[in-house]
Amino acid sequence: MCGLLSLLTSDRDAPDRADAASSALECAAHRGPDDGGTWHDPDVVLAFRRLSIIDLEGSHQPLHWGPPDDPERYSIVFNGEIYNYALLRAELVEQGVVFATAGDTEVIVAAYHHWGAAVVDRLRGMFAFLVWDSRDRVLFGARDPFGIKPLFWAAGPAGVAFASEKKSLLALAPELGLDAAGLDTTALQHYLVLQYVPEPATLHRAIHRIESGTRFTVRPGGEPVPERYFRPAFHDRTGSGQAVHRRLADVLRDSVAAHLRADVPVGAFLSGGIDSTAIVAMARAHNPDLITFTAGFERAGYSEVDVAAETAAALGVRHVVTTVTPQDMMEALPLIVWYLDDPVADPALVPLWFVSREASRHVKVVLSGEGADELFGGYTIYGEPRSLAPFERLPGAVRAALGRASARLPGGMRGKDLLRRGALPLEQRYYGNARVFRPDQLAEILRHHDPASQHTDVTGPHYRASAGWDPVARMQHVDLFTWLRGDILVKADKMTMANSLELRVPFLDPEVFAVACGLPTSEKLAGGTTKYALRRALQGIVPRHVLHRRKLGFPVPIRHWLRAEMYEWAMGVVGDSGAGHLIDLTAVTRMLDTHRAGPLDHSRRLWAVLVFLLWHGIFVEDRIRPSVPEPVSLGHRPSAQDGLFPPDVTSSPVRIR
């Protein structure tokens, strides 16, 4: 797990820009505190920061490789892990390839030489990488199927650059001749609706993201030519019953075993839910000394700490708990937003940052349960097509009339939202797993609200790609391309890497997806529960108190805190903001006061605005400057037994100017 940067110049002046590229990568030093390097030829600069996980003494990057007649033809920078690299390596050895390292990076570049762009179809893992071909003068790159690892890019008169962190490209903008100051107001509007900035956009108009499941080539003077290589499809092919459940358990065991491969200590996150519990139970079979980590709050009803502790005891693993207070959140949030690059209005990322910080004191790798809900039907909203089925049988005119009737009902009245959603087709009512601001609410706070910009601009292509599928499968498909890669995986990558910790997600594995994508709806939603097939597959593997437990979803008590402990802080964030030309700050203040008075709950909308205002204060106004801790390198990272941690690890000082 690492940080990379590449600059492909337009005028063969890469040597003159190498120092600037290396310097721009320093703001991503937390992604790779153990090692680093910069290399260039006349056209390209490759820079790298490494978090050493496999082949600790070898596999330095940028790594050079080539056939015997041209031994340094290719140069690669690679962020991620390839879990089947040993199998690919053996196959390449049979073809005569000689390897100089014991890691997965060299396998990727050798495989690219032999298989070309099709190499991405053979990789089992998470990745974002760039390979420079010095003979053909072309840069080839790719991002993993689900978008676990990030890759940003920007183009200016001096060339095109790629990086693991958007901050690096902002730092490199003058070298590119790029005006990076302009904000994308359409992306801002989408953020306030969806609580994340949807790919491929960022809030900076000049900087973009390579989409998940995409490979590309780019030549000097050009821009990336992308090609989607991963087109997921949910179809009823796998079947149902005990044989499928056994197959699912087997493929999960295999994935967890593959994800445990490391030359450093590996732990796991553990909540009260079935997903992380399954990962821990299967991992412990390989590592009896596994350490698990969880975070919680002191407020009743907002913590899974007790359940996680019970689970850890039942599985016989050592367990470490982190408790997060409202004061912790207020102090750490500016620094957390700096790490994010773009705002994500998911309060759960704050405790994730704290638990990652604690985990990094014990291990360098953690396993986690992200992706299970999207693959196996774990969200309760997936039951909506069944509950709204009676509306589907009504004539269109009747449904439209019900929609108009719902609009006239008082806010908060029982049944109002049911009528509204029942009147809409799936493509209009399902945004993905979050909807923060409604259009009428957006118009009240956005200075430049564009009614023509709708959530369907984001979700529409994914609905078209899934036309004719079962409604639940269509919702899963939309979530794979929106919620999962926009919220879940962004916060997972950013919060763990902020603490120089590698997070691995065994559910988001090609072999697991091959089983999950063929499950019928009856294996997702049945018997009044979600993830039916997964629960059946895990019988006898996870403790009974977890097996049929309802999903809590890691709620954060911001509804209560914004009425009490965090109210004055929130008022200060709004009052100090220089984003009044974008957001009606007076309207936000009214919303905050209304929320405080109750009974209306504006917490999610307030949180989205507050996170954006902090982001604007950091990245646009340069008014808020979090004090970023120095990352801890492999050679200086204390062990869990030492009990001694440098001050910059145990605290997160934040200075606001």
Task: State how far the Cα of 131 lies from the Cα of 490, in Å rounded to an integer.
Answer: 24
Q: Give the orientation angle of helix 603-619 with respect to helix 567-576, to 10 degrees.
A: 40
CA 476 → CA 162, 293, 379, 633, distances in Å? 30, 28, 9, 39
Task: State how far the Cα of 154 lies from the Cα of 200, in Å rounded to an integer.
Answer: 12
Planar angle of CA 251, 253, 259, nearest 5 degrees: 100
Task: State how far the Cα of 572 lies from the Cα of 617, in Å rounded to an integer.
Answer: 12
Q: Are 209 and 200 in contact, with CB atoms under 8 Å apart? A: yes
Q: Are 535 and 548 in contact, with CB atoms under 8 Å apart? A: yes
Half-sphere exposure of 379 (CA within 13 A, CB side): 23
Q: Is 2 a catalytic residue?
A: yes
**Sign of CA pseudo-dihedral 171, 175, 181, 184:** negative
DSSP string, 45-107: EEEEEE---SSTTS--SSEEE--TTSTTSEEEEEEEEETTHHHHHHHHHHTT---S-SSSHHH
Q: Is the peptide bond before 410 cis (omega within 30 degrees of 0)?
A: no
Looking at the DSSP bridge assignments, the partners of residue 37 are 48
Task: State how far the Cα of 354 lies from the Cα of 416, in Å rounded to an integer.
Answer: 39
Q: Are 198 and 478 in contact, with CB atoms under 8 Å apart? A: no
Residue 8's H or E segment, with its range, is strand 2-9
CA 214 → CA 63, 90, 347, 653, distances in Å? 22, 26, 29, 38
Write down the residue that tokens 């902020």 correspond to. 498
The identity of residue 493, as a single letter, is D
**Sign of CA pseudo-dihedral 597, 601, 603, 606:** negative
Q: Where does 430-517 have alpha helices with state H?
A: 439-445, 456-465, 471-479, 489-497, 510-516
Token output for 517 = 């994508």
> Which one of 2, 92, 291, 475 is the catalytic residue?
2
The identity of residue 36, as a single letter, is G
Just list the catalytic residues. 2
